[in-house]
Amino acid sequence: MLVAAMARHMSWRAIFVACGAVGFVWAASWYRWFRDEPREHAGVNAAEAELIESGRLLSTRGHGGAWLALVESPSVWFLCLAYFSNSYGSYFVMTWLPTYLAEQRGFQKESLSFFSGLPLLLSVVGDISGGAVTDFMSRKFGLRVGRSGVAVAGYAVAGVAMFASVVATTPVMAASLIAVAVAASMFPLSASWAACIDIGGEHTGVLSAAMNTTGQVGSILSPVVTGWVVTHFSNWQTPLLIMGGLYVASAVFWMLVDPRKRLR
């Protein structure tokens, strides 16, 4: 929506420069504010630093044994596989969604800019609310419900909404359902990263990297697979069905994740 408004007054090159400049602003802010160690941060007092460090269980042994533990843990495999659909769906939104809405659903410029950005806008709500819910449910019912239960619910809603978008009778309904599906897939994000801590322990970094890598494989494949399917079959519904199927598969995978079992 912002780019659409900027386009009335700026050339596309100027818009690219403006968007790129955000990265420099963020980098400067990051360099000024973030620190490797909480103790080095001006906003952390000595008592806070001691509290953080007392529970970190840092180790200098390296991660050689962690790889074997990762491979041998069923929860790790299912956690990583479940994360695939998140990035797959997100990158469909960032690459092919505007084309789908314009060619298949007939959206024009003004409405196209809004509905192209709606999935990511709603994802902010889904991500933050998912964090609050997984915290509450974990405290109330334990990690199994607080992590796995929340994730299963989010992916189940995402799958149903994506399948429903295929048969939606109006363009606005179809675009809205896609936005709901993508936002619902972001609802389990906090549970996913929290589960990396629950399961990984002192090897949280290794497990987080493995899970994120699986997601980025989805990022790479999403625009390629979508383009291939649309080109060879002239069918825009199949990519949506694929995403719906992936969301349902993630819900099933999360049923098999047990965040109570930490890597040994």
Per-residue pLDDT of the chain (264 residues; tens, 9 = 90+): 888 889 999 999 999 999 999 999 999 999 999 998 888 998 999 999 998 888 776 555 555 567 788 888 999 999 999 999 999 999 999 999 999 999 889 888 778 988 999 999 999 999 999 999 999 999 999 999 999 999 999 999 999 999 999 999 999 999 999 999 999 999 999 999 999 999 998 888 899 999 999 999 999 999 999 999 999 988 899 999 999 999 999 999 999 999 999 887
Q: How far apart are CA 4 and CA 12, in angstroms?
A: 10
- Residue 262, domain member (yes or no): no
Is residue 131 located within the same domain as residue 227? yes
Computed over its alpha carbons, how large is the radius of gyration of the chain?
A: 21
Residues 86 and 33 in one domain: no
Q: Which pLDDT does position 13 carry in this prediction?
A: 96
Domain that holds residue 191: 67-255
Give 88-137 as a DSSP string: HHHHHHHHTHHHHHHHTT---HHHHHHHHHHHHHHHHHHHHHHHHHHHHH
Global confidence as pTM: 0.83
113 and 7 in a common domain: no
Shared-domain flag, residues 86 and 114: yes
* Domains of the chain: total: 2
27 and 117: one domain?
Answer: no
261 inside domain: no
For residues 26 and 132, state if they share a domain: no
- Same domain for 13 and 98: no
The answer to whether the CB of 196 falls within 8 A of the CB of 208 is: yes
**Cβ count near 217 (within 10 Å):** 14
* Separation CA 256–CA 240 (nearest Å): 25
| 8 Å CB contact between 257 and 144 | no
| pLDDT of the residue at 126 | 95
Q: Is residue 234 part of a domain?
A: yes
Rounded alpha-carbon distances, angstroms, from residue 137 to 133, 148, 150, 151, 253: 6, 10, 8, 11, 19
Kindly state whether residue 130 falls inside one of the protein's structural domains.
Answer: yes
* Three-class DSSP category at 194: helix
Residue 200: inside a domain: yes
